[in-house]
Amino acid sequence: MATGIWAVLAEAERLAWSFTPFEHVGPLRFGMTHDQARAAVRGSLSVAASLGASDGDGWAEFWLERRTEMPGRLAVTTYYDESIGLAGIVINALRGPQVTLDGMRLVAQTPSRMEREIADYLKTCGHELWYSQQADPWSPQLGLVLRIQRAGDIVLSRPVMVAEAWADRCGDTTEGLLPMREWTTFEW
């Protein structure tokens, strides 16, 4: 596996979070304020100095607490909507928590396998997988976009999960409510 800035946290070292669409991702519940989100992850993640806002959109980045292993490494990015609070949660493929949806691991997986699993899962529910303008698989029924993230010479799944108010266009890079910052970010 990759080393240095591309190092990927071992599965056993990741926090274990579950995802219930439109409700929560681990301890983070859609609709929370930033202060509530910070309190929810306190003890396992710490808030970074980089907070931002523009035109009603805001974001915060949470970092691994165990900085001796991977100092200063981004784990989770959250997006806020002025009218609903916490509206988007993005998990860093290299060092974020492992998030599961009905037993499927969503983080740091081979994108083609993840795409097949989500497509099969949606088919059992009578839904189809959609694709963004950048060819990212997504589902408005789950409020989930499967983006990718580089880890040296490979790419891994980097899920974006959104609140129900953002779901109908969460994979639309031009008309969706995810800030442009998300579509132009390729974190390591």
What are the extents of the domains in the chain? 4-181
Predicted TM-score (pTM) of the model is: 0.89
Contacts of 188 (CB under 8 A, 6+ apart): 5, 6, 94, 149, 150, 151
pLDDT digits (tens, 9 = 90+) for 34-43: 889 888 888 7
pLDDT digits (tens, 9 = 90+) for 56-92: 467 777 765 544 444 457 889 899 998 999 999 999 9
